């Protein structure tokens, strides 16, 4: 994955505490399988503005993001650690 993925992974991660998502150390992320499937089905991810939670934008998936999500779904992976 490109270096920018370290930033982009936060677009996909599930929030700690939601539906039993554990608190994880730095550089570890949880992406629910159901969310990965939805991102793939939609072809985009919805991003909420940090300044105004009522504002959302849709970001089309890149080929790299799509390939990563397909890999996550194919292998039933939800917990990832980036090194």
Q: Model confidence over 41-77: pLDDT tens digits? A: 999 998 887 777 777 889 999 999 999 999 999 999 9
Instruction: Give this prediction's pTM.
Output: 0.83
**Counted domains in the chain:** 1
Looking at residues 32-46, what average pLDDT do you find? 95
CA dihedral of residues 72, 77, 81, 83 (deg, nearest 10): -40
Q: Distances in Å between the alpha carbon of 6 and those of 24, 41, 43, 46, 59?
A: 15, 23, 20, 18, 17
Looking at residues 11-37, what average pLDDT do you find? 88
Domain with 33, as residue range(s), is 5-81
pLDDT of residue 79: 93
């Amino acid at each position: 994955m490109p270096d920018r993925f370290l930033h982009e992974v936060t677009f996909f991660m599930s929030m700690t505490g939601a539906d039993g998502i554990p608190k994880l150390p730095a550089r570890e992320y949880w992406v629910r399988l159901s969310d990965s499937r939805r991102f793939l089905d939609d072809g985009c991810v919805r991003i909420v503005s940090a300044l105004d939670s009522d504002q959302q934008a849709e970001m089309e998936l890149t080929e790299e993001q799509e390939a990563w999500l397909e890999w996550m779904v194919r292998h039933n992976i939800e917990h990832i650690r980036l090194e």
